């Protein structure tokens, strides 16, 4: 029996993860998964501004994340046969290996227009800033306990006609965008920057080329489903983006699984975005936002400055299941 067959058998009964899109205020994680909002760009813009208003916005976005509980016990660790073979020495090595694996997979048929996308996710408890005087953040936050499962129509004509969010694409649109991407990494990145334009005005100043590329790639990878050969092209292109790194060890996501973290620091601010990838089948597994430098920010009037510490996790979302189903409410 060859190595890849053994790996597929090890993974045969495990859930398959995939897409989550960010949105201002984190209305609900299930809404974010559909890409119906703009939180990705709003969060990025917030980190660019060293002001009280930015701090409040970041704190609210980080702390009002929907707390979801996934029913089955999470996979605690990747199989030793997989972790022993991983090469996390560089983005080119890690993402190139992922792309090679995906290129060998048979593409399932595109979902029918009348089918639905089933998604399930879990989020971790976000870190709260502390006041420099040690008396707490002084912030009152209500955590919204939302539904851990969602069903999204594959072909959503009403959502396609929504002009309010230039990052939003329906599942069908995202599938077609991915399938049509060129092989050449530079051309692929240019196409995604065109499809997912950079911010302006209320969305913050325009992103630099590399930050824009990483964000556009991330938005697409959060979609489900994506043809495996298209996902392979996306990974190879991601490895060429300036500033992209890969953590040299597996990290634990919000569900307890060990996953690969592909990272890029925001050009302005003191945090980085982490795109999480399953080390077994290289599917999208979630995302994190992590503070990269301990720093103080002004507190509300009359209160001591608030402190964000290096390593604080502000956003921690793990997708634990994604599947195509025939009807809304059906579970795979």
For the residues of 50-113, what is the DSSP string, one character each?
A: -SHHHHHHHHHHHHS------SSPP--S--HHHHTT---S-HHHHHHHHHHHHHTSPPPPPPPT
Model confidence at 38, pLDDT cuts 50, 70, 90, reads very low
Task: Give the residue with greater pLDDT, 4 vs 292.
Answer: 292
- 141 has pLDDT over 80: no
Query: pLDDT tens digit string along 280-323?
Result: 999 999 999 999 999 888 877 777 888 889 999 999 999 999 99
Mean of pLDDT values over 77-98: 79
Residue in 292, 295, 330, 283 with CA at minimum distance from that of residue 314? 292
Sequence spans of domains, the chain: 16-325
Mean of pLDDT values over 99-114: 97
Q: For residue 99, which phi and psi values (nearest 5 degrees)?
A: -65, -40
Distance between alpha carbon 260 and the CA centroid of its chain, in Å? 12
260/277 Cα distance (integer angstroms): 5
Place of tokens 């002001």: 51
What the block records as the tokens of 303 is 């209160």
H helices present in 87-227, as ranges: 91-103, 157-160, 171-179, 185-195, 209-221
Query: pLDDT tens digit string along 147-203?
Result: 689 999 999 887 776 666 667 889 999 999 999 999 999 999 999 999 999 876 555
Q: What pTM does this model have?
A: 0.75
């Amino acid at each position: 029996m060859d190595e890849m067959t053994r790996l597929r058998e090890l993974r045969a009964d495990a859930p398959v993860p995939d897409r989550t899109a960010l949105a201002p205020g984190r209305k609900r994680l299930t809404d974010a998964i559909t890409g119906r909002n703009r939180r990705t760009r709003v969060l990025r813009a917030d980190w660019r501004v060293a002001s009280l208003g930015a701090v409040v916005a970041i704190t609210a976005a980080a702390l009002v994340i929907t707390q979801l509980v996934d029913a089955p016990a999470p996979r605690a660790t990747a199989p030793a046969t997989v972790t022993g073979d991983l090469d996390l020495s560089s983005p080119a090595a890690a993402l190139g290996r992922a792309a090679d694996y995906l290129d060998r997979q048979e593409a399932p048929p595109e979902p029918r227009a009348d089918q639905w996308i089933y998604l399930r996710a879990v989020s971790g408890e976000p870190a709260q800033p502390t006041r420099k005087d040690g008396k707490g953040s002084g912030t009152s936050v209500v955590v919204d306990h939302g539904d851990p499962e969602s069903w999204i129509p594959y072909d959503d004509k009403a959502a396609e006609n929504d002009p309010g969010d230039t990052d939003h694409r329906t599942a069908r649109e995202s599938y077609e965008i991915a399938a049509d991407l060129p092989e050449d990494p530079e051309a692929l990145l240019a196409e995604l920057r065109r499809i997912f334009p950079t911010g302006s005005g209320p969305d913050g100043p325009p992103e630099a080329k590399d930050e824009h590329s990483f964000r556009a790639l991330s938005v697409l990878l959060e979609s489900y489903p994506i043809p495996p050969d298209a996902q392979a092209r996306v990974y190879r292109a991601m490895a060429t983006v300036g500033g992209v790194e890969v953590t040299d060890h597996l990290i634990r996501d919000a569900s307890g699984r060990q996953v690969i973290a592909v990272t890029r620091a925001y050009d302005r601010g003191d945090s980085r975005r982490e795109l999480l990838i399953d080390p077994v089948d290289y599917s999208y597994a979630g995302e994190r936002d992590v503070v990269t430098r301990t720093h103080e920010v002004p507190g509300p009037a009359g209160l001591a400055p608030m402190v964000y510490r290096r390593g604080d996790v502000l956003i921690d979302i793990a997708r634990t299941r994604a599947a195509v189903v025939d009807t809304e409410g059906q579970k795979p």
